[in-house]
Amino acid sequence: MNMLVAHQIHSFIDNRQILHDISLSVKGGECVGLIGPNGSGKSTLLRTLAGLLPPSSGQFSIADQPFGRYTRKQFAKIIGYVPQNTAIEFDFTVRDIVLMGRFPHLPPFGNERELDRLIAQKAMQKTSTYHLANRYATQLSGGQRQMVLIAKALAQEPRLLLLDEPISALDIRYQLHVLELMRKMARQGLAVIAALHDLSLAARFCDRLILLHNGSLLAAGAPLEVLTPAMLQTAYEVDAAVYTDPSTDSLAITAIQKSRGERTP
């Protein structure tokens, strides 16, 4: 079943077109990497699919129902979104922040139940943040905040999880932890879309890749189909070596040099 279907999405921000005719679909159980250079539209696309930025034209549906038919609370039960900006300005504890993910499941004016506290605890355990449960958000590092917001999204028990650069502030150990968790959740039926900059990690952990370039969909498919030297040259303006890493049995990419003829900024 297609959890997400987007058709001819266009997006303008301040009279500037950011997304051009984006059409894609993602099934439950798929882990999809959203890749592309800075400014290619990855964050705008994720914000659009998260319901935070209405498309200028085009439409998308979630679980076979058009986006516009969902109430805000219904949509929040299905979509979990972790933004790139992890700033938390209010002095909540980690436990309180993760419990906020249960809000869509609470009755009107109702407080969290024992079940909600248990689900929040499991989300913290999955993200290795349970030991931070009583710590205040303002005391956390950027990487810790990133893990806490992922835990909050998991506490929503979504069917589609959208992650914008979920490993950008993490060290190597926690990068692997998040990506392994992302793939595990997909294997359990969750649909996952994650914007990633590390192409080798994207190839290793994602079933499919969607490559954006200048706001358009340049390529979509298995890592082997998308991460070709020609595609990388077009999108990133670099010559790259693409090979199979014997230690992981997955594609690895090494940028060699800027493409010939590229002007130095």
pLDDT tens profile 86-141: 887 788 999 999 999 999 999 877 788 999 999 999 999 999 999 999 999 989 99
Q: Does the pLDDT of residue 243 top 60, yes or no?
A: yes
* Strand ranges across the sheet with 65-66: 16-27, 2-13, 57-62, 65-66
Structure pTM? 0.94
The model's pLDDT over 47-88, given as tens digits with 9 standing for 90+, comes to: 999 999 999 999 999 999 999 999 999 999 999 999 998 887
The model's pLDDT over 8-37, given as tens digits with 9 standing for 90+, comes to: 999 999 999 999 999 999 999 999 999 999
Note the pLDDT of residue 85: 86
Q: Does the pLDDT of residue 262 top 70, yes or no?
A: no
Secondary structure string (H, E, C) spanning 108-122: CCCCCCHHHHHHHHH
Q: Give residue limits of the domains in the chain.
A: 2-219
Q: Parallel, antiparallel, or unpaired for β 2-13 and 16-27?
A: antiparallel
**Gap between the Cα atoms of 87 and 7, Å rounded:** 32
**Gap between the Cα atoms of 180 and 164, Å rounded:** 16
Other CB atoms closer than 10 Å to residue 96's CB: what's the count? 17
When pLDDT is cut at 50, 70 and 90, the band that residue 260 belongs to is low
Residues 6+ apart with CB under 8 A from 202: 33, 35, 196, 209, 223
Instruction: Determine the length of the chain.
Output: 265
Q: Does the pLDDT of residue 261 top 80, yes or no?
A: no
**Gap between the Cα atoms of 28 and 78, Å rounded:** 12
Q: Does domain 2-219 have CATH number 2.60.260.20?
A: no
Write out the DSSP string of 234-251. Answer: HHH-EEEEEEEETTTTEE
The model's pLDDT over 202-222, given as tens digits with 9 standing for 90+, comes to: 999 999 999 999 999 999 999
Name the β-bridge partners of 164: 195
Q: What is the mean pLDDT of residues 163-184?
A: 95
CA dihedral of 150, 75, 16, 166, whole degrees rounded to 10: 10
Note the pLDDT of residue 107: 81
The model's pLDDT over 179-205, given as tens digits with 9 standing for 90+, comes to: 999 999 999 999 999 999 999 999 999
**Gap between the Cα atoms of 83 and 87, Å rounded:** 10
**Gap between the Cα atoms of 160 and 189, Å rounded:** 9
128: three-class secondary structure by DSSP: coil
